Amino acid sequence: MNTTRLTAAQATVRYLASQLVSDAGQTVPYFAGVWAIFGHGNVAGLGEALHGVRDVLPTLRAHNEQGMAHAAIAFAKQMRRRRAMVCTTSIGPGATNLVTAAALAHVNRLPVLLLPGDVYASRRPNPVLQQVEDFADGTLSANDCLKPVSRYFDRINRPEQLLDALPRALATLLDPASCGPVTLAFCQDVQAEAFDFPTSFFGPRVWSIRAPHPDPGELDQLANLLRSAKAPLIIAGGGVSYARAGTEAALAEFALRTGIPIAETQAGKGSLAWDHPMNLGAIGVTGSSAANAAAVQADLVVGLGTRLQDFTTGSRALFGGSECRLAQVNISPYDAHKHGAVSVVADVGATIAPLAALLADWRAPSGWTETATARIADWNDAWERATAPAGDARCGLPTDAQVLGAVWRTAADDAIVVCAAGGLPGELHKLWRTRRPGGYHVEYGYSCMGYEIAGAVGVKMAEPSREVHVLVGDGSYLMMNSELATAVMLGLKLIVTVLDNRGFGCINRLQKSTGGEPFNNLLADSPQIDFAAHAASLGARAQKVADVSQLEAALEQARIADRTCVIVIETDPDSTTGAGGAWWDVAVPEVSDSKSVMEARAAYEDRITKLQREN
């Protein structure tokens, strides 16, 4: 057997560089690059190894480990899980900074390979700098924090383990059902140890991404449910965009031919163009009035690639009570069987065509189709009112809806909007009109503050020719803005709009709606932060505008600028779009000295009682 003597770190990066993926007739490297912040736990081993392969596996440097992992995850999401990136850190704080991002990837079923440095396997210098010691278990390190948020976890204590661990890692990352973060905690002394690896281990390997077809019996059951339904509704989730190529077009045609209206989750938004005749818009707590009215009346709800979290289901209260049946098409059995659904475990794209064939002579009752889609006009009127430049702000400042309306009006047809936590994702889910596939990139599975700018870096890397708009609140901007410098450093142009409402406006509104006094959310008494000056100090073009008309002018200028632009606008912390929406189960204290809290608790109990009667 021919062998090649390499360090464990050299073998790892050489293997990673030789992994290819075949998709839509093209074969490309699976890993687009390695994000690395070097420290004593990885600079000597993986740092040296990455330098040796830099021409085929680029190394990128960020400013925060969580931020660079967000960028890697966003890249994979925008690439529809067809490609991924690697992140390596030192041990200690560098590794634990990955935990939040790994949880985000786990929740959203997105691939990322994490290679944090670890303690010495030999334990010669035990405890090494930054080592977290467990008094009862000598095998634990800080990296064990990553176990609950990793789809596959391994600790590399010997170089030869890589012969097993690396293929397992790739198999997990590329499996559409088990897809998610993989952690290989890499003991720092082992990174530098040499071993005679089989030369064949480093030969190019072409992986393909499975798109399993449905079981005929499960498909027949779904077709029969649809045939007997009087008011069917489809909910398009993230699995539509992650499915085989052409799924969105097939879904658009299927909806037109069958007359089944479609609503979209956060992850599924953009499955249909916003003006498709059967697109009712967003579903759930942040849904449109058209979609949510249909959900209440539906007697059959068919989820396509959605995990049906509480914002989608209105905390399991939105769909039509005990008379409504639920079916799920999902590549993951774990998701397909949720809420007692009739399940089809398969790729969404591989399911639509055979389902359409079984329903070739069937169409939803015309009365249902007409009733459901007639509400689209009313919703469009609500959209116009909410996003108009002159609206109903209570304090003279523009609302979030007015700001996103300005961004939408000025953005290119193929622009991508990026957002994450707070009130903005809710407004975007309701109001952003997606014109092209992949134009809506909102992380709301984990609702992670700080994702926005870092995620936009990954989005721009995935689709450099498209305009990338970031909408971020002041609270989220303050939580993580360092990757603004990374975008400038790498020449990745972003258009960032910072909405400054002086704190956490979304949670302040939730606090008041559950009877609480405004407390610890808005920072009206704090010094005014000059966000434009801060962004400029990181290398961006930056300015503050006074109103929506100035914002639109600044956005037009930003589109032709030569580098990342940041536009700051003060917004109303209290106003939100009243149209649409559904109930969300937020528990209110059962006892309190506050009259308003007890009133909110009584209303909460009344709602729970009513739901129990209906279901």
What confidence score (pLDDT) does residue 96 get?
97
What confidence score (pLDDT) does residue 391 get?
53
C-alpha 104/C-alpha 126 separation (Å) is 32
Across 54-79, b (16+ Cβ under 10 Å) vs e yields eeebebbebbbbbbbbbbbbbbbbbb
**50, 59 Cβ separation under 8 angstroms:** yes
Question: Going by DSSP bridges, is the β-strand pair 194-198/3-7 parallel, antiparallel, or unpaired?
Answer: antiparallel
For residue 39, which of 86, 95, 85, 112 has the smallest C-alpha distance?
A: 95
C-alpha 97/C-alpha 519 separation (Å) is 29
What confidence score (pLDDT) does residue 508 get?
87
Tell me if domain 3-208 and domain 216-378 are identical in fold: yes
**401, 387 Cβ separation under 8 angstroms:** yes
- For the chain, which ranges sit under pLDDT 70? 391-395, 525-526, 615
DSSP string, 3-39: EEEEEHHHHHHHHHHTEEEEETTEEEESEEEEEE---
What confidence score (pLDDT) does residue 395 get?
64
Report helix, strand or coil for 396.
coil
Would you give the end-to-end CA distance of the chain in angstroms? Answer: 66
Model confidence, pTM: 0.96
CATH class of 216-378: alpha beta
The CATH fold assigned to 3-208 is Rossmann fold (3.40.50)
Question: Going by DSSP bridges, is the β-strand pair 26-29/19-23 parallel, antiparallel, or unpaired?
Answer: antiparallel
Return the DSSP state at 520: S
The 3 state secondary structure assigned to 238-255 is HHHHHCCCCHHHHHHHHH
In order of 101, 180, 209, 432, 540, the CA distances from 150 in angstroms are 11, 7, 20, 32, 35
C-alpha 91/C-alpha 44 separation (Å) is 13
CATH class of 388-570: alpha beta
For residue 269, which of 112, 431, 412 has the smallest C-alpha distance?
A: 431
C-alpha 46/C-alpha 375 separation (Å) is 57
Question: What are the residue boundaries of the structural domains of the chain, listed by start?
Answer: 3-208, 216-378, 388-570, 585-615
